[in-house]
Structure 1
Amino acid sequence: MTRIKIFADSTCDLPEDLIKQHHIGIIPLYVIFGEQSYKDGVDITTPQLYEKVEQLGSLPKTAAPSPADFMESFKPFIEQGQDILYISLSSELSSTYQNAQIAADEFPEGRVTVFDSLNLSTGIGLQVMKAVDAAEKGSTVSEIVELLHNVRPQVETEFVIDSLDYLYKGGRCSGMQNIVGSLLKIRPVIKVIDGKMTPAYKVRGKREKAIEQLLNNTLDKIDQMDGDTIFVTHSLADDDAANLQQILREKTGARRVITSNAGCVISSHCGEKTIGILFTKKVL
């Protein structure tokens, strides 16, 4: 057991085998349909989320863990003598970071450190894995935080949204935009910039064209990659993810190319068949 316990939240979208292998603590966000609240990945899965949206015709709300949730998760490890480093969902997207900081302040100074990933999904996961690797090699919390400050701006996060329906239901585009976009088969591409989801460009035409553009954007940056981990993260797009994984393994020479499933919180904002490629560039 390392002296440092690494925590993330359910939006990091790391595969279960990596979470178990490296003993990563996961704190779930909440998915709320009407009066019913579910813990992301604990009480509800992504397929179940889509079933409920189909039945109800509306999207759920999502909510951050409370400070009490964080305290309850952190306390046993503090009592065991471990220090905690929690890597959060972007503070630009959620109050998760702020609530974790409130919880951290309830413990003795220096025992709980909260780091803002300024990212989402496996854009967080990439930073978590850097932290885990460093902790297992004996780095201190302050050394890991310094590493993360250098890594964070080098994370590349880009997703293709397959349909405007979820952006429309979530109030992120107008009804007219949704109709026009559907008729023209426009697929927006989202990048994370300065911690925010930012529309980067739109691809008009078949889904395959949009995925090819996503792949080409990644391959254009091979020389900038750090060569460690590439994530292909998706919401119920297994075949496309497997295909991208194979190509990226052949073309990039990365140490590992991993497919991962988007959890309920990420999926509720982006929708079914969303797919992304995420990696880190070399630290300058």
Structure 2
Amino acid sequence: MDNSSKLAYLDGKGLYYSFLAGARSLLDGQGELNKINVFPVPDADTGSNMASTIRTIIESISPASSYKQTADAIAAAALIGARGNSGVIFAQFLYGLSNETRDVEKISLQAFAESVNRSVQYMYEAVANPVEGTMLSVIRDWADYIYSNHSYFDDFKKLIASSMDAAHESLVATAQRMRQLTHVNVVDAGAKGFVLFLEGILEFIKTGNVRALRSLLESDPVVLPVGSDDHGSLTYRFCTEALIKGESLDKDKLREIVRGFGDSMVIAGSSKTLRLHIHTDDPQKLFEELRSFGTLIFQKADDMQKQYEIAHHRKWKIALVADSSCDLPQDLIDFYQIHLVPINLFFGENHYLDKVTIHPEQFYRMLDLEEHFPRSAQPNDKAFENLYSHLASHYDSIIAVHVVGKLSGTLHSSLMAAERISRETGKKISVFDSRNVSGGLGLTVLKIARSIEEGKEHDEIAAHIPQWVDKTRLLVSVRTLKYLVRGGRVTKMKGFLANLLHMHPIISFDKEGKIYMLEKTFTMKSNMQRVIQLAKDELSRQELDEYMILHAHCETDARWMADQMVEVTGRDPLAVMDISPVIGVHAGPGSLAVAFMVK
């Protein structure tokens, strides 16, 4: 872009590089946005959410000569990548900008001003209860200025420069227009994010420095916040989002379905693709209700309570991360502030988050009723990058332990993300293969959590983890191999022979993390008894540290097994609990397990 000439029209490449410039400014300021995050909840993540939204757009679009084509690409990427309340509102504004633009190669000041003005209504219609003194107000005030004053200018550069006073004045006013902001004397974080975005655009159209923007595509640094202040408490626990696809989707109908589930509702998008954002305490029940509305191709449910606690009431200096195949009682997960990354579950095209938007009872009901057999999919690198970036801003270091690497790509995704975030933040992130699943992984994670509680240093704990992994055993009584076969964990021939001979295998993991058949029986009762005997034999030679009983929707049998283990060990189990749905996919209903760690 020639910064010396008048810019009477904006084409696709001009829009593309202007967007990159705004993105760079917002990414640089994300730490400060997290620090002043008060509304709608003080969970210190507005900057991270807006940055994540921006990153998705940057990674999805490329320069095109057509303004309309570029605007459409930005809007589509924003709808898919929108994260958090501010991210979804911003995405809806971009969608309005795209929808209100005619199919043109380049846009005039008048057409731009008209499209910006009409886009404001898209935001307000998306928000269930619009609150003034937020980014809604600032975007509206800025758009009003553009629309009311564009006729006085013949140059985009001068119009945008002149509009910045209106944006800044509106931003300053947010501190007085909303009680939550006035109380702590800060401006609205989402509104400031939008102003930062505008400032980046202005800087670019003044200088025309494309070279500096291209470096953004090669290096997207993680910016740590300055620190966050405690601005209040939470009303609901989960920041929940969904991307829904279908034909003739009705926003009003969706609004009625979700209205009673929480607050901060925003619905963005079109009749074919909608993005839902809401704060709720029951994401699992919410998504069960949404199944009949459309195809759930993406879900997110961030635990705002945990985000708030680590931002304002962090217990220890080392963060502990696992994935949702880790089975532990929820009270221990909450007490030790363990961060679980949910593994993805799919029934056909419908997407769920293990243990977050689908729980065992619902899972086994769907397993009986759904025509599609469920499949699991690892969290992608981005999910881990977002988490590690957030944790690195609050902890000195991070330890992560995951489901056996030979069965899932989760470990690899975590390792890739850890390497990048560690390199860019300077924070130590150690990732380990548990060579186990379910309660086996859970007991290893609990051992690490207790060591962190005792005040042990990162390197000392990391040095002991391989030993704790070796001392952990999982003995699984499998009712049928059908589900292991369908999940690809056992060959069809082995499954056929086991079914033909009415065999019930006992499986475990070897030292390399491979599944193997330990023994087999011909009745389920003898199988369960044999599991107890195998555990007794091993514990007769080694001292027990901790144990737990796991089951796949068969609590009565699990209670019997727990009673038997009490006789063997002389103590109650840590827990008797349902295995996570993502493990239930492969183990199948009726499976039982004893997980134990020795000293």
- 8 Å CA contact 2:325, 2:438 repeated in 1: yes
The structure richer in helix per residue is 2
For residues 22-61 of structure 1, what are the alpha-carbon distances to aligned partners after superposition, in whole Å with 9 as ceiling and x for unaligned? 2111110001122221110111122322232322344222
Secondary structure, aligned partner of 1:65: coil
Change (3 A) 1:48 1:168: same
After TM superposition, list the pairs within 5 Å mapping 1:3-42 onto structure 2: 3-42=317-356
For residues 184-232 of structure 1, what are the alpha-carbon distances to aligned partners after superposition, in whole Å with 9 as ceiling and x for unaligned? 4311111111212212221112x11110000011111223343221111
- Alpha-carbon distance in 2 for matches of 1:226, 1:257: 16
**2:457 corresponds to:** 140
**2:515 corresponds to:** 197
After TM superposition, list the pairs within 5 Å mapping 1:1-284 onto structure 2: 1-107=315-421, 108-171=425-488, 172-174=490-492, 177-178=495-496, 181-182=498-499, 184-193=501-510, 194-205=512-523, 207-254=524-571, 256-282=573-599
Change (3 A) 1:209 1:57: farther
For residues 84-123 of structure 1, what are the alpha-carbon distances to aligned partners after superposition, in whole Å with 9 as ceiling and x for unaligned? 1111111111111111111112223443211111111111
Change (3 A) 1:176 1:217: closer
Q: Which runs of 4+ in 1 moved over 4 A?
A: none
- Unaligned runs of at least 5 residues, structure 2: 1-314
Matched residue type, 1:246 = D
- Alpha-carbon distance in 2 for matches of 1:255, 1:263: 21
How many angstroms does 1:256 deviate by?
4.5
- Alpha-carbon distance in 2 for matches of 1:257, 1:39: 25
Secondary structure, aligned partner of 2:373: coil
**What fraction of aligned residue pairs are identical, expressed as a percent?**
26
Greater radius of gyration (CA): 2
Secondary structure, aligned partner of 1:93: coil
- Alpha-carbon distance in 2 for matches of 1:106, 1:250: 49
Change (3 A) 1:250 1:202: closer
The structure richer in strand per residue is 1
Change (3 A) 1:230 1:200: same
Change (3 A) 1:131 1:223: same
- Alpha-carbon distance in 2 for matches of 1:255, 1:144: 27
Secondary structure, aligned partner of 1:158: strand
Matched residue type, 1:8 = A
- 8 Å CA contact 1:234, 1:241 repeated in 2: yes
Secondary structure, aligned partner of 1:11: coil
Change (3 A) 1:176 1:103: closer
- Alpha-carbon distance in 1 for matches of 2:418, 2:493: 42
Paired positions, count = 280
Secondary structure, aligned partner of 1:265: helix
Secondary structure, aligned partner of 1:105: helix
- 8 Å CA contact 2:396, 2:427 repeated in 1: no
Q: Quick check: 128-137 or 55-64, which moved more?
A: 55-64
How many angstroms does 1:173 deviate by?
4.0
Q: TM-score, normalised by structure 2?
A: 0.45
Matched residue type, 1:21 = F
Q: Quick check: 126-135 or 53-62, which moved more?
A: 53-62
For residues 221-261 of structure 1, what are the alpha-carbon distances to aligned partners after superposition, in whole Å with 9 as ceiling and x for unaligned? 22334322111111112112122222222321357542122
- 8 Å CA contact 1:32, 1:61 repeated in 2: yes
- Alpha-carbon distance in 1 for matches of 2:543, 2:433: 21
- Unaligned runs of at least 5 residues, structure 1: none
Change (3 A) 1:196 1:109: farther
Secondary structure, aligned partner of 2:545: strand
- Alpha-carbon distance in 1 for matches of 2:571, 2:329: 18
- Alpha-carbon distance in 1 for matches of 2:393, 2:546: 33
- Alpha-carbon distance in 1 for matches of 2:395, 2:318: 9
Q: TM-score, normalised by structure 1?
A: 0.91
